[in-house]
Structure 1
Amino acid sequence: MAMRCNRPGCTGEIDETGFCVECDHRPLPEAPQSAPAGGCGAPGCGTAGRPWSVNGIVTMPTMPSRDPASRIMMQSTAFDAVRRCGRAGCQGRLNSATGSGAPRTKGFCPECGKPFTLEPRLKPGDLVAGQYRIEGPLARSGFGWVFLARDEHLDNRYVVLKGLVNTNDARAAEMAVRERQYLTRLDHPNIVRIYNAVTHYDAEMDEHLGYIVMDYIDGDSLQQARVPALRARARCGRRDVDCVAMPLEHVLGYGLQILSALAYLHDQGLVYCDLKPDNVMRGTDRIVLIDLGGVTEAPGRGGAFTPPFAPPREELAKYGATVRSDVFSLGKTLENLLSAGVDKSPELERADPGGISVAAESFRRAIRRATAEDRERRFADAAEFAEQLTGVVHELNGLRQGIESRSPSARFAPTSRLIDAGLGSVPPLTRWTAPGEAAGAERPPEPAEIMTGLPLPRVDPADPAAPYLTGDDPAPRELLGLPAGDSVELLLRGARAHLELGAPDAARACLDRAAILLPEPGHRWRLGWYRGLAALAGRQVKTALGEFTDVCDMLPGEAEPKLAMALCAEWLQQVDRAERLYTAVWRRDRSMVSAAFGLARLRLARQDRDGAVAVLDEVPAISLHRDAARIAAVRALVEPVAGRAAQPGDVLRAATLTRPDRLRLDDGEPDGKARQRLTALVRQVALDIGVTAAEAEPAVLGSPCTRDGLRLLLERSLRDLARQAGGPDQSDALVDLANRVRSRTLLTGWRH
C-alpha cells in the first residue's frame, strides 16, 4: 500500500525517492525526535551518521564528514579591514590600495618603510617545529592566518596552526599570547583544545613567527552554515524546505551548547568577548568555540567585540566587558542564525493553529531580552539564559511532536487548582430549581477565578522571609499577621492575600512598597505577575493581559505566563490567540489541565463537541483532575452550546461516560449525591430533545430507551435530588418537577 503524505492539506503518494508527488516535500517525521529530518539525499546535502543530543532534549544531525584537504583555500584573498603597522610610534596603513585599485598584500610601510606581508607566511609542504607538515591555509582569523597541517609525530593526524599576520603588530601579538595562555588552562568539550605552542623562522621576512597548535574541527563555522533557502534549494535541485540549513531546533541546540561553554568561561572569571557565527564551529557531533584571542578577565576593558554583535559602546565604556556583554553577543548571534532558518514568517503563519509559531515567538522574546539595550534587563548570566532556552525547546518539542515535553519550572510553584469555569463540576441543584441562572458550557472563567487559580512564583531563597514561605501556604489572614519589614516576598504574598479578602487598596499598597525594595529590573517580573493578579481582581482583564505579556517577555521559556495570557485572551474574545497559547501549554505539559479546559471551551464555542471531548480525554489517568475532565466531557456532550441543544448521539455517548467504571464519583459510592445529579442531567436532556434508541445505557437511559421510560427514570432522579435539598422551598420545587414529568395513564389521564 502506497504511503501517503502527512503534511497539512496534502494526501499525495510518496514516491520511491521519499518525496510527495503532489507537494514535492518529504512527509513529516512520525517517530519521536526533536528535529525534522534534514537533507534530500543529494551530494553534500542533509545529514549522515547517528544523530546526537543536546541535554537530552534536542536531537541534532551528525553532519557529513569532509576531507580536510577540501577545506584548503585555493586562493588567498586580501584583508578587508585596515591593517596598521605595529612598529613603535607608527600607525601607517599597510593594505592601502595600489595604483590598480587592489589592496596591497606585501611591500613597505608607507610611513616608516619597514617591510611587511599580509599573505600566508607558510606554504604547503613547510615543516614547522620539525613536526607539523603544512597542507595549506584554511582561513583568516581576526589577526592572522589559520593553516591545516599534519602531525608527523602522531600518525599524520590533522591539526590546525594559527599564527600572526605580523609580529610587529603589538595588538596581534598581545592577543596571540592571551589566547595561548587561556587555551592551555581551559578544558571543555565546547571549547577548542590547544596541543602545543611553536615558532617558525620566516627567512623572507627574517622573523621568527609564533603559532599555536589546535584541535582540527571537522565542520564549518556557523557563518558558513547560514545557507539561504534559495541557494540550498538550488543546490539540492528540489523545493524541499528541509534542505535549508537551520531549523529552529538546531538553532536552539547551538545556543544551548554555546551557553554551556560560556558558563564554563564565566565560572573561570573570564568573558569571551568576540562571540559571532564566524567563531563557532559546527562539528560533526558538537558545537565548538574557536578563536579565543578576545578572551579577557571580567570585567575587561577594550574587549575585541565585532559589530553588529558588540554591545553598546556606552556600556563597554562604563562597565567594560562583562558576563552580560557575552549574553548580548550570543543573542545577536542567535538572531543572525534564526534569520537563516525555515521556521519564520510567513511560513509559520501558514502552519496549523497549534503550530510552532508560539515557540518561535518565545525564541524571539528570549533574543530580545538577551539583546536589550538596558543591560539590567538582560539575562543575568549564561545559566539564566540557558534555563529559558531550555523551556523554549520543551515548548517547541511539544508543539512539533504533539507529545508531552516538560520539566519542573524553576520560577513558579506547582498548583493543584483547576481553572475550569465550573465545567468540571457536577451541576448543583440550582440547575433544576433556578434554570435561568445556568450559562452555556463554553462560558470562560471569571477574572476572580483566574486570579485565585493561577500559580505563584517560587519564593526567592535570598529573601529574609523565605523560611516562613517555603512550606505549605499559610491562610491569608495568617499571612497578613506576619511582619513584612523589608521582605519583598511577604509584601507580594500579602498583596495576594488582600486580594482574596477583597481589599484591593491594601494590595496596591503592598505592591508599591515591594516595587521600592526589588533589587534589580531582572526581578521585576515578580512584581508584574502580582500586578496582573491585582488587575484581574478588579476585572481589568486587558491590563492584566499586558502585565502577563511583560512577564512572558522576561521569562519566555515558562509555560505559566502563557497560561495566564491565554485565560485573559479568552475572556477578551481573542479566540485565535487564546487557542495558540492554550495549545502550546497543553502539548508541552499535561499537568496544566486548566489549558485543556480552555481548549475544550473554545471548541465548544465553535459547537465542536467531539473536539472538546477529545482534548478532555487527553487528561492523564494519574492527574488529580481526571474525574473533573470526565465530568466536563459529559457536560460538553449534553449542555447547550452557543445556544444550540445537544443531539441524540451526544446524549447516548454521555450516558455511557457516566457509568461507574468510567467515572469515579462520591469516593466510589455507586449511588452518591454527585452521581445522582449527573445522571439526572443526562436524563433531563434526553427527555427534552426526545432521545429514543433500541439499545442505550440501561442504568441511565434504560434499554430500550422510550419516552415513557425516560419520564419514569427522570422522575426517580428528581425525587432523589429532592432528598438532597437544603430547605423545604428547594425540595418542593424538585418534587413539583418530578410530578410534572410523570406519565399519564390511559384510564384516568392523571399522572402517577
Structure 2
Amino acid sequence: MTGSGTTRCDRPPCPGEVTATGYCDTCGRRPAAVSTAPARRDRDTRPGPTGTPPRASAVLARATGGEMTLPDVSVLDPSELIDADPRLPSDGRKCGKDGCREPVGVGYGDQPAAPTGYCPRCRHPYSFVPQLHRGDVLGGQYRVEGPVTHGGLGWIYLARDTRLDDHPVALKGLINAHDATALRVAEAERRFLTALDHPDIVRIINFVSWRDTGYLVMEFVSGRSLRELVTPAGQERLLGGPLRLEHVAVYGCRILDAIDYLHGRGLLYCDMKPDNVIHHGDRIKVIDLGGVRRIDDHDSVGVITPPYLPDEELYRAPDPAEPPAPGGGRRPRFTKLTDLYTVATTLRELVAAAEPGPAIAHDSFGRLLARATAPETGARFATAAEMAAQLRGIWREIHSLSTGEPHVAQSTVFSPGADPLHAGLGAVPPPDHWLRPPDRPAPDLDLAPPPPERVAVRLPVPIPHPAAPGPARELHTCATSLALGALDAAEQALLRACQLLGPAVARHDWRIAWHRGLLLLAKGDVHDDGAMQRALGMGPGARPRARHWFDAVCDALPGEPAPKLALGYCAERAAEPEAAERAYLAVWRRDPTDGAAAFGIVRIRLGRDDRAGALDVLDRVPAHAPHHGAARLAMVRVHVGWRGEQPPTAEDFRAAQRLTSALSLDGGHPEGEERVRLTAEVGASALRAVAAGALIPEELDPGPLLGDRPDERALRERLEAALRELAERARTREEHAALIDRANRVRPWSRF
C-alpha cells in the first residue's frame, strides 16, 4: 500500500499506482491480478448432440495457436484513419426516448438529414455531432486527434495517451448524447467490460468523463473489419488474394474462443456480425461491445442486428405474464444459442464469399452452419467450445485435403478404432484359397468391402456423455451386446436409452443415431418393429437405413472423421465408389494411420484398375501405424495379383520380393504357415504368367518367394512343396486330400 486508496501497479515496468477508480494513474490499465483472475465456467452439459464432455474446452484453447494461422494484414498508421468530415449515419437512428424509437436523422427526398434536431413524433432532442475535437484532453491524459468512425451507439475517436509516449487509444462516446438507451448501454460497458482481458476481444483500458459525458478508453485496433471480405475487391485489398475456406474456419475458431470467454463470465455478446470483427496483423479482435449483457438479463433493451438473429428471437410470441418492452412489443430473450446462431450467420456470409474448398470439406462446413442455425434449438450446438471443436476438425479436413499434409488429433467424443477393416486384402490367403476345384483358375484379389456385421463392431465407439449416466450405461450395454452378437439385447438397450432421454432429446442425440446405425448394419438394415421410431418421435412409416443414421451423426459432428468413415463404407457397399472415395480420403488425408480409410481407398482404386494409385496409398502408411504390416503385405499381394487377364510384370515380382524380406510373418518365425501360404500365392501367380507366355523366366529375379532359379520347372517344384506343406497342416482329411491333389497337378513332368 502506498497511500490511502492506492496500490502499486503490478504491470511491469509501469511505476504508477492503482487509485480508487480501479485503474493505474500512469498506464491506465487494471491490475493484472484482477483482469486475469479465473472466473466461474458456466457450461451446458445436458445430454444429446448439444452436450459435450468438459474436456472439449481444451480444444478451444488450442484453436488460436499452432498451425491455424491467418494472413498478415498490414496495419495502417492510426492517423490515416481520421475522418476529416464526420457525418451522421446515412440511415439515421432511432429516437433515444424510452417508448418512442421513431427514426430520426433521416433525410427526405434530395435533402440531407440534419445532424441535430427533434424527434418528429415526441419532440425529444437528438444530436449526431461529434462532441470531441482535436486537441481536447480527457482525464488529463488522453489527447484527442479526431473521429475515426461511428459504431452502433457511439463515435470512435483516435486519441494519444500522453503518459505512455503518445500510445494510440480509442475513445468511444455517444452519437446521440440524448439517447437514454445508449446511455444505459454505455453504463453497461463500463460495468461489465473493464474487467475483461482476452487477446481476441478489444480491451477496455479506462473510463473518463468530459463535460458530463462518459467515454470508454479502449485499445486502438488498426485493422480492417471482416465486412470488407464479402467482396472480391475487399479480399484483394486485405489479403492480397481471394478469401479461402480455411481462413473462414480460423476466423470462426477465434470468434468462438472470444464468445466462450464471455459465456464463461456470465455474459452474452448478442450482436456478432462481420462488421464487429477486426483483422489486424495475423490476429482478430471482437469490437463494439455495446450489446454485451448478463445471461440472466431479460429486461434491458438489446443492441441487435435482426438479419443475424434466429427466428425465435425475432418472432417469439409475447408471454402474457411478461411485462411489455418500452414502446410495446416484447423483449428479446437472448441465450448462449443466440450468440452461436449469430456466429454461424456471420460465417455463412464469409463462406459464401470465399473460394470453395474441397467438395466434402465445403459440405462439412455447410453441415456445421446448418446445425448451429437449426430450426429446433435442441438440435443446435449448446456451447461455443462444442462448436469450435467441430470447426477445428473441419479446418484440419480442409487443410489436409488442400495441401496433402496430415493433421492428426485425438477425438474428444470417439474412442480410437484399431481395426483396419482390410477385408482380407492385408492378410495372407486362408487355406480355403487352395481348395477350389482343380480346373478353376486362381481368383482375383477380393475387393469386396468387409461384411457389415464385422464393421458394426469394429467402428470407433462414442465416449459416454458424463451428464447422462443412465443412457450412457444402456448404450454401453448396446455396444457390448453387439460385440457378442446378441442383437435383440442390443436393440432393447438402445430402446431403453431413448426412453430415458425422451423423444425431444433422443431424436437429436448423435450417440443414439450412431448406435442405431451400428445395429442396423449388424442386422443387415432390417427393421423389426416401430418401437424405436416411436421412442424417437418419428412417424410409423419412417424406416431409414444405417446410412441415414450415420449421415445424421455427420450433421451433428461435421468435424469428426468417424461418421465419414461409416458413410464411406455405406457408399462402398451401395456400389457408389466416387462418394465412398471422397469420404475415405477426407479421413485418410487427415490421419494416414487410419487403416479402415486407407484400405477402403485401395479397394476402390483397384476396382477401377488403378494399381499404381492403390500402391501409393499403401506405401504412405507410416511405420508407426498399427496396420503398417498389413499394408506392406497388401502391397505384395497387389503387386502379384491378377486383374482379369492382366498379369503382373517382372518389376511387380521384384517389388514383391523386396517387400517380403521386411515382412514380419508368423510372429517372426522363418518357417511358419503364413510365409508358406504367401509363397504359394506368389509362386502360383508367377507360374500362371510364365505358362501363359506373359513372362519369360529370364525376366524373373531369384528371391525369397521365387527361389534361386525361377524357371518354369523350379516354380512348379517350389509351388508343389508349398502345397504339400500346407497339406500337412490341414484341418480335415478332406482338406489334406484336396491339397495333395493340387500339389500333384502342379508338379513338373518327370525327365524320363
Report if aligned partners of 1:716, 1:738 keep a CA contact under 8 Å in 2.
Answer: yes
Q: Which amino acid aligns with 1:508?
A: E
* In structure 1, distance between residues paired with 2:546 and 2:120: 66
Report if aligned partners of 2:577, 2:604 keep a CA contact under 8 Å in 1.
Answer: yes
Report if aligned partners of 1:559, 1:585 keep a CA contact under 8 Å in 2.
Answer: yes
Cα 1:90–1:333 shift into 2, 3 Å: closer
Deviations 1:488-508 (A, max 9, x none): 223223334444454444433
Q: Does 1:449 align with 2:435?
A: no
Report if aligned partners of 1:441, 1:640 keep a CA contact under 8 Å in 2.
Answer: no
SS in 1 for 2:510: helix
Deviation at 1:654?
5.2
Deviations 1:136-186 (A, max 9, x none): 221111112111122223222111111112232110100011011112111
Report if aligned partners of 2:96, 2:126 keep a CA contact under 8 Å in 1.
Answer: no
* In structure 2, distance between residues paired with 1:603 and 1:571: 15
Which residue number corresponds to residue 303 of structure 2? Answer: 304
Identity of aligned residues (%): 41
SS in 2 for 1:379: coil
Alignment match of 2:477 (pick from 484, 494, 497): 494
Alignment match of 1:262 (pick from 252, 259, 263): 259
* In structure 2, distance between residues paired with 1:697 and 1:243: 59
* In structure 2, distance between residues paired with 1:620 and 1:280: 41
Deviation at 1:565?
0.5
Which residue number corresponds to residue 680 of structure 1? Answer: 680
Which residue number corresponds to residue 547 of structure 2? Answer: 545
Which residue number corresponds to residue 515 of structure 2? Answer: 530
Cα 1:317–1:711 shift into 2, 3 Å: farther
Which residue number corresponds to residue 145 of structure 2? Answer: 135
Cα-Cα RMSD: 2.6
* In structure 2, distance between residues paired with 1:331 and 1:181: 28
Which residue number corresponds to residue 27 of structure 1? Answer: none
Write out the 4+ residue segments of structure 1 that deviate beyond 4 Å after TM superposition: 87-93, 111-115, 230-233, 314-319, 435-439, 500-503
Deviation at 1:98?
4.5
* In structure 2, distance between residues paired with 1:393 and 1:93: 43
Q: Does 1:513 align with 2:463?
A: no
* In structure 2, distance between residues paired with 1:338 and 1:522: 29
Q: Does 1:60 align with 2:70?
A: yes
Cα 1:284–1:459 shift into 2, 3 Å: same
Cα 1:230–1:259 shift into 2, 3 Å: closer
Report if aligned partners of 1:654, 1:682 keep a CA contact under 8 Å in 2.
Answer: no
What pairs with 1:550-569 in structure 2 (closer than 5 Å)?
A: 550-569=552-571
User: Which range is displaced more, 389-398 or 540-549?
Assistant: 540-549
Alignment match of 1:271 (pick from 263, 268, 273): 268
Q: Which amino acid aligns with 1:183?
A: L
Which residues of structure 2 form unaligned runs of 5+?
Answer: 1-61, 320-331, 527-543
Deviation at 1:649?
2.8
What pairs with 1:234-633 in structure 2 (closer than 5 Å)?
A: 243-301=240-298, 302-312=301-311, 313=313, 314=315, 320-342=333-355, 344=356, 348=357, 356-434=358-436, 440-464=445-469, 487-518=470-501, 520=505, 524-540=509-525, 543-633=545-635
Cα 1:680–1:213 shift into 2, 3 Å: same
Which residue number corresponds to residue 723 of structure 2? Answer: 718
User: Which range is displaced more, 171-180 or 719-728?
Assistant: 719-728
Which residues of structure 1 form unaligned runs of 5+?
Answer: 1-51, 202-207, 237-241, 349-355, 465-486, 748-752
With the length of structure 1 as denominator, give the TM-score of the two structures: 0.81
User: Which range is displaced more, 557-566 or 257-266?
Assistant: 257-266
* In structure 2, distance between residues paired with 1:658 and 1:154: 68
Alignment match of 2:180 (pick from 137, 150, 170): 170
* In structure 1, distance between residues paired with 2:283 and 2:65: 12
* In structure 2, distance between residues paired with 1:492 and 1:114: 63
What pairs with 1:103-118 in structure 2 (closer than 5 Å)?
A: 103-111=113-121, 113=123, 115-118=125-128
* In structure 2, distance between residues paired with 1:93 and 1:694: 90
SS in 2 for 1:308: helix
Report if aligned partners of 1:244, 1:341 keep a CA contact under 8 Å in 2.
Answer: no
What pairs with 1:647-726 in structure 2 (closer than 5 Å)?
A: 647-649=648-650, 651-653=652-654, 655-657=656-658, 659-660=660-661, 662-690=662-690, 691=695, 692-726=697-731
* In structure 2, distance between residues paired with 1:327 and 1:152: 40
User: Which range is displaced more, 260-269 or 492-501?
Assistant: 492-501
Per chain length, whose mean CA-contact separation is higher, i.e. which structure has more relative contact order (CA < 8 Å, sep 6+)? 2
Deviations 1:203-261 (A, max 9, x none): xxxxx32211110012111113x15226656x79xxxxx84352222211111111111
What pairs with 1:707-746 in structure 2 (closer than 5 Å)?
A: 707-746=712-751
Deviation at 1:646?
2.9
* In structure 1, distance between residues paired with 2:233 and 2:93: 35
Which residue number corresponds to residue 11 of structure 1? Answer: none
* In structure 2, distance between residues paired with 1:694 and 1:222: 65
Report if aligned partners of 1:694, 1:704 keep a CA contact under 8 Å in 2.
Answer: no
Deviation at 1:651?
4.5
Report if aligned partners of 1:227, 1:245 keep a CA contact under 8 Å in 2.
Answer: no
With the length of structure 2 as denominator, give the TM-score of the two structures: 0.81
Deviation at 1:731?
1.0
Deviation at 1:91?
5.5
* In structure 2, distance between residues paired with 1:315 and 1:586: 45
Which residue number corresponds to residue 467 of structure 1? Answer: none
* In structure 1, distance between residues paired with 2:456 and 2:101: 66
Report if aligned partners of 2:142, 2:160 keep a CA contact under 8 Å in 1.
Answer: yes
Which residue number corresponds to residue 224 of structure 2? Answer: 220
Q: Which amino acid aligns with 2:68?
A: V
Cα 1:209–1:665 shift into 2, 3 Å: same
User: Which range is displaced more, 127-136 or 273-282?
Assistant: 127-136
Q: Which amino acid aligns with 1:338?
A: V
Report if aligned partners of 2:254, 2:284 keep a CA contact under 8 Å in 1.
Answer: yes
